[in-house]
Chains A and B, each alone.
Chain A
Amino acid sequence: MTKPVVSLDQVTIRFAGDSGDGMQLTGDRFTMDTASLGNDLSTLPNYPAEIRAPQGTIPGISSFQLHFADHHVQTPGDEPDVLVAMNPAALKANIKEIRRGATIIVDKDEFTTRNLTKVGYETNPLEDGSLDSYKVHAVGLTSLTVAALSELSLTRKEAERSKNMFALGLLTWMYHRPTESTENFLKAKFGKKPEILAANLLAYKTGWNYGETTEDFAVSYEIAKAHMPAGKYRNISGNTAMAYGLIAASQRSGLKLFLGSYPITPASDILHELSKHKKFGVITFQAEDEIAAIGSALGASYGGALGITTTSGPGVALKSEMIGLGVMLELPLIIIDVQRGGPSTGLPTKTEQSDLLQAMYGRNGESPVAVIAPSHASDCFAIALEAARIATTYRVPVFILSDGYIANGSEPWMIPSVDSLPDLHVEFAQTQEDFMPYLRDPKTLARPWAIPGTKGIEHRIGGLEKADKTGAISYEPANHDLMVRARAAKVAGIEVPDLLVDDPDGDATVLILGWGSTYGPIASAIESLRANGEKVAQAHLRYINPFPKNLGAVLEKYSKVLVPEMNLGQLAMLLRSQFLKDVIPCNQVRGLPFTTQELVDSTMAVIHA
């Protein structure tokens, strides 16, 4: 008998289990299979800072949320429609965020008295009626997997490890995902370990068959392709897009890419990715500390390379003095800060936008740098190219403020043609008489990029204040005043595109103005508000220093400007101080992106205040 198939327009699924249960891999595979089917999607990996917290405890729970649809998707979804919980801890840690009526699939084998007690369940939630308002499927994920693999010569423990593939197979059946891509992935990953490969493939297939044959799962679901502009697509995370963007910037500028980096969550994946691409002439240097990482990048820049350093908030704190030297030397330098919860070590694996003021002002002296921020995962590609344009044109350190959410989250990306990418060609200073290392270009106010190896322009630079034009050491009061203002004017004069405002009828009075990774949640809230007949405008800042030239006029136009940020009001502070506009901050620092609903609620409160 064929089971009925129900059509849905969107679904949000959350996979949750122990850190060692392979939930990130499971989520990644489901994402890739969903992307290749043509749904639009957005993901939210969420994992603890500990590599393996004690098994079966709430602190050890790792989850992966995926929102996919037949239409444009802006966020990983507020409340999952489906929770896959590999143990009682995963259920307990996530149940509060699951909507009533949602489907919950649990591994019933894990719901032992011992495991239940460990997380404080006095009675078994699978039996005590507390889950009556959900559709619960209690499946023996562990026992079914072990039974399916009994023919293989694996220990029970080894066999149990494939239970995530059983779960993936089951979900793959439920949502009609193709299986070839995951099968190929497993073959590539475990090709050298035939037993493990066989176990994973068999568990995957068994999970799929379980859905197909058992009565427990009566229906399956289809989600039609989303309408997306024609082109070639791939799914991409923010960190991978950033790495690709940097390689593209190197190729388009003809500059050697030099990355100096020290491992730090959640930025390390950029280092990992770039270190794979040495055939592009990429040099990756894993330094002894954050200072050496940026020092080496600045040294490479001085030599004419595209010098880059990647880090997160605590690393930026250590790099501050070297960024100041970059400001003083007026050399190109790209600093990528994948922000995480702070202060101090804070929440290493959770997202936040609280390094904005650190990027702007976290140095001694008047030390202006450019600050830009990607709006969503695939935007990291374009923002990397922009950082290279600004850094090399204006010879200035450029901050890219990414964050944990878009760094690890992924989405479909229409792959651009290489010819459509900007030309980033740069000119170095040439051999000349009476070379002046601090003679500024009248248009950009940039000084020459004068690299060693160029005959006749040997000169000395350093962190001491320079005389205008000659660059010689100068303690002259008027000269210092001139140079401080010149460095400020140079950054203020960086050309950036005007801020675009989405205000379809042009008569909204409320503007939601965000920056960085809040783009998706804000766009989703705007859609929801407009669907309810509210007039709301949206604008999103990719350029924070300098701001777009029309920003003042935009702020002027709206009587109420709501500024959502995952901090306690840092952009709001900048806007108020620069434009004397009393913007309305909207803040949360829970380590997770805004939900659509909380932004809808905050906006409604402003509209009807």
Chain B
Amino acid sequence: MPDLALTKKDFTSDQEVKWCPGCGDYSILSTMQSFLPELGVPRENIVFISGIGCSSRFPYYLETFGMHSIHGRAPTIATGLAISRPDLSVFVITGDGDSLSIGGNHLIHSLRRNIELKILLFNNRIYGLTKGQYSPTSETGKVTKSSPLGSLDTPFNPISLAIGAEATFVARTVDSDRKHFTEVLRAATAHKGSALIEIFQNCPIFNDGAFEIVKDGDTKGAALLQMVHGQAIKSETHGLIHDGASLKVVELGSVDESDLVIHDAHNADPSYAFALSRLSSSELSHVPVGIFRDVERPGYGSMVNNQVSDIIKAQGAGDLNTLLTSGDTWDVE
């Protein structure tokens, strides 16, 4: 990495941060600002593009290029930018409503194309900016302003969705765990194509404590199944074993340590990562965190630009006069 001698302060804009006190977004922002110097990319070559929602105010607080766009559409704008400007590092900031409801189509298509975007999905399982309606990740039965008798919707599992959409890099972390989040960011930015990071994020106003079980010091050790490539997947109390074609959580000690699943993030078969993604239920009793899947596939932007450069290499750059006078022409004297 080139040493650009940048610090966290260099990535902090002059805008006053306006999230609610105690919002998980503060910690995500701070972690990102601390991480960016390590990326080794000049500030002017970094672009954050967001949609609409609380999380989408994120770009205003970073001293890079940024665009706060429209609801659900950040991946589309980021796609055009990333394809046409392969020299840039493009991040997409989105929330569960922004990316999984109104913008669901763009999220899945960005992932399947493997556009060179790092997508940070702040999942707080609620609509915050519109003041507390259930979101596509809210648990069934959730009572909110728009669901006084309980939500009837079956929630999306963002990790399962991403894997189903042919994503090449899928990870999950928790807003308050800076160390873990930084490790995931490091791997995501090193990945060549699309990377989706789901961040469990607490909304202290409309959905406080939604992730308490994976944040509280007393419970998180047992709830979080740590996924580290090449190591056994386990929490402090539980481990993972193969169960036919699926995976099963068992108490440590009930099986031989050597029977535990050794994590292979580079497994080409997506059904492995998908099985991992299904371990997390709405109750969060066992939640895998870390990198579910990290496989290589050519990035879309690089393929687009290769098509252009290959044809220019083979046929020479286009000549406008030749184009205009191509085909059947005739001269009038």
A residues at B contact (CB < 8 Å): 32, 35-36, 38, 181, 228-235, 244, 247-248, 251, 256, 258, 260, 277-283, 285, 287-289, 291-305, 307, 321-322, 324-325, 329, 414-418, 452-464, 472-473
Contacts and interface: CB of A to CB of B under 8 A. Distances in A.
B327 interface: yes
A586 to B, nearest CB: 35
A459 B70 CA distance: 18
A281 to B, nearest CB: 6
A258 B80 contact: yes
A294 B87 CA distance: 22
Contact of A452 (B85, B106, B320): B85
B44 A454 contact: yes
Contact of B66 (A277, A285, A460): A460
B67 interface: yes
Interface residues of B, number: 60
A463 B59 CA distance: 13
Nearest to B300: A285
A234 B329 contact: yes
Contact of A280 (B63, B76, B317, B333): B317
A292 B76 CA distance: 5
Contacts of A452: 44-47, 65, 81, 85, 88
Given A230-B332, A452-B85, A453-B44, A303 B64 contact: no
Interface string B53-93: 00000011011111111100101111111111101100000
B307 interface: yes
29 contacts: A230-B333, A234-B330, A248-B320, A248-B324, A258-B80, A279-B315, A279-B316, A280-B323, A283-B304, A283-B308, A291-B106, A292-B106, A295-B73, A295-B79, A295-B106, A299-B79, A300-B83, A321-B73, A324-B70, A452-B44, A452-B45, A453-B44, A455-B44, A458-B64, A459-B66, A460-B62, A460-B66, A461-B68, A473-B15
Please list the 9 inter-chain residue pairs (A to B) with the smallest Cβ-Cβ separation, ordered nearest first.
Answer: A295-B76, A462-B68, A299-B80, A296-B80, A299-B77, A280-B318, A300-B80, A288-B109, A299-B81
B330 A233 contact: yes
Contact of A232 (B49, B73, B316, B329): B329
A283 B75 CA distance: 18
Contact of B77 (A247, A295, A416): A295
Contacts of A325: 69-70
B83 to A, nearest CB: 6
Contacts of B7: none
A296 B329 contact: no
A418 B320 contact: yes
Given A285-B80, A455-B44, A415 B329 contact: yes
A307 B268 CA distance: 36
B328 to A, nearest CB: 5
Given A232-B325, A260-B80, A295-B106, 5 more contacts: A296-B76, A298-B77, A299-B79, A415-B325, A453-B44
Main secondary structure of the interface of A (DSSP, over half): mixed
A296 B81 CA distance: 7
Contact of B308 (A278, A322, A415, A473): A278
A295 B115 CA distance: 14
Contacts of B333: 230
Contacts of A304: 84-85
A217 to B, nearest CB: 27
Contact of A303 (B46, B84, B330): B84
B312 interface: yes
Contact of A462 (B13, B64, B67): B67
Contacts of A460: 13, 15, 59-60, 62, 65-68
B309 to A, nearest CB: 9
Contacts of B77: 295-296, 298-299, 302
Given A418-B320, A463-B68, A281 B308 contact: yes
A304 B60 CA distance: 21
A422 to B, nearest CB: 13
Given A329-B67, A456-B44, A460-B60, A38 B330 contact: yes
Contacts of A283: 83-84, 304-305, 308
A296 B79 contact: yes
B65 A458 contact: yes
Contact of A279 (B78, B85, B312, B332): B312
A299 B76 contact: yes
A258 B82 CA distance: 12
B13 to A, nearest CB: 7
Q: Which of B305, B317, B330 has the most CB of A within 10 A?
A: B330
B311 interface: yes
B267 interface: no
B63 A458 contact: yes
Nearest to A240: B327
Contacts of A36: 328, 330
Contacts of A35: 328, 330
Given A233-B330, A234-B327, A291-B76, A285 B304 contact: yes
A464 B71 CA distance: 12
B330 A292 contact: no
A173 to B, nearest CB: 20
